[in-house]
């Protein structure tokens, strides 16, 4: 089987690594890839959003299946184009990808089909005054979200009225996120613990991967601005079997039924961002692809052949499929460039990766890296994903942080409290 992976980050490195270890996969190509993916696959110099070139490459190389990592090509309709050319691809159509591409659409969809989520109201750019007036009648804190794609940084928790007004001004008036904030959603602030659930779907049936818990904010103790994710671990013990049963019945089942009724059956990965409230699980947001950095912890735990699951999703054949996982836990700690998620330097030399990768049960997935004059250097905000696996969450975290100790680049930053909530649950004897 020949597989094409679209994307260039740590998620795509993890996907390529997992596929390379499937016994029925002969070749893995990554477009455009990064220096890390080059170690386990063949990089192809095609941008992730260059759909015509990706389509031509898949035809020429007779690719058996394509999996898309980032959201933009999915929202732009790469699945539609590949299917028109009779090429197998994992992901939702453009109309189904609106669950991520438009938070306004997703909220209206959830309201229509009774999917539990925060109460909300949507405002367009021309309704700036109405949006500020709405704050007068709404309890603070609130969450203000850019409706469109904002690289995981378009949601702001506003603790004061002044902060909410400033956020609205930045999004609607100053176009902080460009066209992504042409429309904003103001919603109630939900209290609880967050978690991520991933369903691989074929339009009707689905299988669930290990639940994970991400760490969105840059600072320890969940402080500071949102990022694309500073670390994750799996399985997330807060997602008990009882909770997972409710997620199936109250969220995933109605979403798949509703999308079919809307004429856009959902295929590919449905990423359910959850808030586990006192009254049960509620949806924070939907994504239409695997998460980053959650992919880096759920794939090492997957025992079932990943390529087979992808093929069944693309051919609407997941019904009655089973999925198995290795015992134990996985933890990922993100090493980022100093200044991220604001401005940061590029071209800073990275050393120590070989030693980290040589440690038992440790692997470094590269994200924002590049080769420059024979040196590995930083090329993005989130630079490396250091992953450890072990018999317990504590064991997995110890291996991840031990790996980090061998790696060096100037002004590297990382959180030292990844998995803290899970460790507390483990210490209390409430392990998954």
354 pLDDT band, cuts 50/70/90, is very high
136 pLDDT band, cuts 50/70/90, is confident
Q: Please compute the mean of the pLDDT values over residues 224-240 and round it to a whole number.
A: 95
Q: Please compute the mean of the pLDDT values over residues 294-312 and round it to a whole number.
A: 98
Q: Please compute the mean of the pLDDT values over residues 63-79 and round it to a whole number.
A: 98
pLDDT of residue 430: 61
pLDDT of residue 173: 87
Residue 196, both tokens? 């991520």
pLDDT of residue 176: 87
CA 404 to chain centroid, in Å, comes to 22
Give the closest residue to 408 by CA, choosing from 332, 357, 335.
Answer: 335
pLDDT at 432 > cutoff 60:
no
The 10s digit of each residue's pLDDT in 45-65 is: 999 999 999 999 999 999 999
pLDDT of residue 426: 79
H helices of 85-221, in order, are 98-101, 103-113, 128-136, 161-168
Residue 316 burial (C-beta neighbours within 10 Å; 0-12, 13-18, 19+)? middle
pLDDT at 204 > cutoff 60:
yes
Q: What is the mean pLDDT of the chain?
A: 95
Q: Strands (DSSP E) along 258-393, which ranges?
A: 267-277, 280-287, 329-336, 362-366, 369-372, 375-378, 382-390
Q: What is the pTM of this model?
A: 0.95
Count CB atoms within 10 A of the CB of residue 218.
21
What is the per-residue DSSP string for 10-38?
Answer: HHHHHHHHHHHT-TT--EEEEEE--TTGG
Sheet holding 231-234, edge to edge: 213-214, 231-234, 329-336, 382-390, 362-366
Could you tell me the domains of the chain?
Answer: 2-87 (3.40.50.20), 119-188 (3.30.1490.20), 193-427 (3.30.470.20)
């Amino acid at each position: 089987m020949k597989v094409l992976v679209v994307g260039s980050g740590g998620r795509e490195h993890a996907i390529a690594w997992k596929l390379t270890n499937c016994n029925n996969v002969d070749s893995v190509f990554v477009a455009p890839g990064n220096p890390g993916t080059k170690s386990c696959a063949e990089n192809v110099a095609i941008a992730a959003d260059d759909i015509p070139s990706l389509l031509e490459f898949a035809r020429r190389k007779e690719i058996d299946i394509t999996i898309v990592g980032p959201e933009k090509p999915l929202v732009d309709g790469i699945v539609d184009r590949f299917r028109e050319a009779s090429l197998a691809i994992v992901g939702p159509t453009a109309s189904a990808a609106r669950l991520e591409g438009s938070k306004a659409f997703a909220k209206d969809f959830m309201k229509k089909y009774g999917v539990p989520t925060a109460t909300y109201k949507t405002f367009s750019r021309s309704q700036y005054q109405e949006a500020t007036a709405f704050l007068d009648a709404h309890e603070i804190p609130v969450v203000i979200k850019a409706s469109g794609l904002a690289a995981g940084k378009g949601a702001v928790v506003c603790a004061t009225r002044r902060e909410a007004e400033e956020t609205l001004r930045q999004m609607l008036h100053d176009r902080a996120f460009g066209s992504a904030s042409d429309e904003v959603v103001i919603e109630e602030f939900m209290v609880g613990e967050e978690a991520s659930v991933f369903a691989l779907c074929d339009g009707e049936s689905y299988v669930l991967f290990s639940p994970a818990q991400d760490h969105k904010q840059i600072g320890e103790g969940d402080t500071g601005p949102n990022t694309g994710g500073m670390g994750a671990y799996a399985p997330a013990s807060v997602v008990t079997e009882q909770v997972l049963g409710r997620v199936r019945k109250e969220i995933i089942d109605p979403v798949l039924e509703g999308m079919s009724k809307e004429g856009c059956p959902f295929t590919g990965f449905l990423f359910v961002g959850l808030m586990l409230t006192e009254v049960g699980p509620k949806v924070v947001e939907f994504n239409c692809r695997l998460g980053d950095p959650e992919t880096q912890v759920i794939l090492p735990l997957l025992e079932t052949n990943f390529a087979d699951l992808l093929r069944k999703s693309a051919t609407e054949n997941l019904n009655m499929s089973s999925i198995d996982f290795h015992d134990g836990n996985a933890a990922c700690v993100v090493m980022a460039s100093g200044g991220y998620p604001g401005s940061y330097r590029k071209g800073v030399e990275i050393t120590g990766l070989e030693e980290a990768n040589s440690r038992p049960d440790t692997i470094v997935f590269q994200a924002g890296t590049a080769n420059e004059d024979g040196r590995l250097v930083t090329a993005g905000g989130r630079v490396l994903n250091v992953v450890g696996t072990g018999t317990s969450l504590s064991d997995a975290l110890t291996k991840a942080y031990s790996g980090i100790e061998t790696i060096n680049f100037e002004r590297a930053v990382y959180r030292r409290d990844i998995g803290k909530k899970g460790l507390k649950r483990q210490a209390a004897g409430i392990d998954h």
